[in-house]
Amino acid sequence: MSEKVVRNKEDFVFVQNNQFISDEALKTKPIGYYKDAWNRLKKNKVSLASFFILAFLFFMVIFAPLFNGYSVSDRNVRLKQLPAKIQGLEKIGIFNGTKVIQSFNRNEYKNLEENGIVKKVVEKEQNSFPVYYFTVDYYAYVDYQNTYGEKAALILTASEFNALNPELIVKYETINQTVYRIDEAEFNKIPDSIEVDYIIEDSGLYRFTQEEWEKIASLELIAETSESIMYQTNVKYFQYLGYKEGETPYYWFGSDLEGRDLFTVLWTGARISLMVAFAVALTNIAIGIVIGAISGYYGGVIDLLIERFTEVLSGIPFMAVLTLMVLRFGNGFGVIVVAFTLTGWIGIASLTRTQFYRYKNREYVLASRTLGASDFRIMSRHIFPNAAGTLITSVVLIVPAIIFTESTYSYLGIINYGDIDSVGRLLSIGQTNMIESPHLLLYPAIFISILMLAFNLFGNGLRDAFNPSLRGVDE
């Protein structure tokens, strides 16, 4: 047996009795959840680059239509399908407004060659016949055709003719002509598929000649008619539009089928697409979070009823909902948002429900409930902040999905905003005319591709940044 050792109280003394002992201060700053997520996001160079690309696109969507002086309502069918032309870049051979025209007759464009409009001619053989490809300055070509072409003459009233600078007149003759005038409301009833020439008078009325009116006579528009002596006048067209001799307009992305500036039309259409996407996303988030929070927090019968309701609602085809609402209420902005919202909130609600189920029985929630906190306070102050990271990443990925869906149905012609062509509608028009005018398809396709790619890369980076399992992990 071991010997028992007895110690007296006096044998024990305090070590460092006269010194104050404390924990060492933290040498690094504490990092919260969101700060840690931001640090991880900054390390993801691809996502960060995508963020800056999105910021640039949003800036362009807001301000780009103001850059070059055109508006969506500025249209001139005589200047339709012009290729891209940009100041400065034209001098180095790119964006110089040239276009290739195919012909089987070399002499057909002899006058253009003599006037320096034809830049290059390539002869090829097709089915044992020669085919000529003329590379022309298309802006000069359009000016020439609208000055000397068979259908170039303008039908002007006496006052309009007298107001012309005589130096602009190439030739003219007086004719007895019936003219038709309609207001803007009637003009907007003319479908885009009908190409018709007109003049906007100082009074704001749209004037049509007899020949042009016959193209839209079947629409039975309400018009004022008058019989008067008119002046059929050929003018130096670009100078008639207000440009100096030798100058041309500049369409940075070219012009569309109605003679509008495609640069302005594209960014304006992108604006409506993004407005729809964010309006739908915010509405779905608000509805989905509220319903999902109630379902996940209370559970039981409430959860059961909500789940059965969402199952029935999710079984309704979205195309059927959208088509019926458009047919019944038209293509208004609010109608499109409501159609996307009817079933769009279900995914957010399901995700929110899962997160509330996950956190509602945690210790800090039980402690808060024990101290008398209300259900609303527990849901808004203790559960929702912890679920916010997962919800944020899902929301970012919802926006590109809505943009893609809206563009798809615009492409199919189900969604049509009237005077404003969304990106999907521009893609549809461009696809129809891609052989003759490839720029009509090229620029909308580039925009939607970059937008979708940037949104998805940024959303993936945000998802990784807010992933709780990666907290504190150095990549």
Q: How many domains are there within the chain?
A: 3
* Domain shared by 122 and 170, yes or no: no
> Does residue 31 lie in a domain region?
no
336 and 304 together in one domain: yes
Total Cβ atoms within 10 A of residue 135 = 14
**Does residue 161 sit in the same domain as residue 143?**
no
Task: Enter the pTM of the model.
Answer: 0.79
d(CA 267, CA 305): 44
Give the domain CATH number at 285.
Answer: 1.10.3720.10
Cβ 256 vs Cβ 80: under 8 Å:
yes
Asked whether residue 356 falls in the same domain as residue 343, the answer is yes
State the Cα–Cα distance between residues 94 and 248, nearest whole angstrom. 16
Q: Are residues 344 and 436 in the same domain?
A: yes
In a domain, 23, yes or no: no
Do residues 200 and 345 share a domain?
no
Task: Decide: residue 80, CB within 10 A, 0-12 exposed, 13-18 middle, 19+ buried.
Answer: middle
Strand pairing report for 98-103 and 129-137: antiparallel
CA pair distance 80, 82, nearest whole angstrom: 6
**193 located within any domain:** yes
With 0-12 / 13-18 / 19 or more C-beta atoms within 10 angstroms meaning exposed / middle / buried, residue 371 is exposed
E strands, 65-168, where?
98-103, 118-126, 129-137, 154-156
CA-to-CA distance for 329 and 464, rounded, in angstroms?
42
**Weakly modelled stretches of the chain, pLDDT under 70:** 1-3, 15-17, 21, 23, 25-28, 30, 32-33, 467-475
Residues 295 and 433 in one domain: yes
Task: Name the amino acid, one letter, at 65.
Answer: P
CA 246 from centre of chain:
35
Amino acid at 12: F
Please report where in the chains the tokens 């919202």 appear, as a residue.
341
In angstroms, the CA 396 to CA 51 distance is 11
Q: Is residue 8 part of a domain?
A: no
How many residues are present in the chain?
A: 475
- β partners of residue 377: none
Residues 388 and 287 in one domain: yes
Residues 6+ apart with CB under 8 A from 259: 75, 76, 77, 78, 79, 80
Same-domain status, 110 and 158: no
The pair of structure tokens assigned to 120 is 């290059």
pLDDT, one tens digit per residue, over 227-264 is 878 888 888 888 888 888 888 899 999 999 888 999 99
What is the reported pLDDT for 470?
A: 57
Q: In this structure, what CATH number is given to the domain that contains residue 128?
A: 3.30.1370
Judge if 338 and 452 occupy the same domain. Answer: yes
Q: Are 302 and 407 members of one domain?
A: yes
Residue 403 belongs to some domain of the structure: yes
With respect to residue 39, please indicate whether it lies within any of the assigned structural domains.
no
Whether residues 127 and 189 fall in one domain: no
pLDDT of residue 475: 47
Q: Provide the residue range defining the domain that includes 142.
A: 89-148
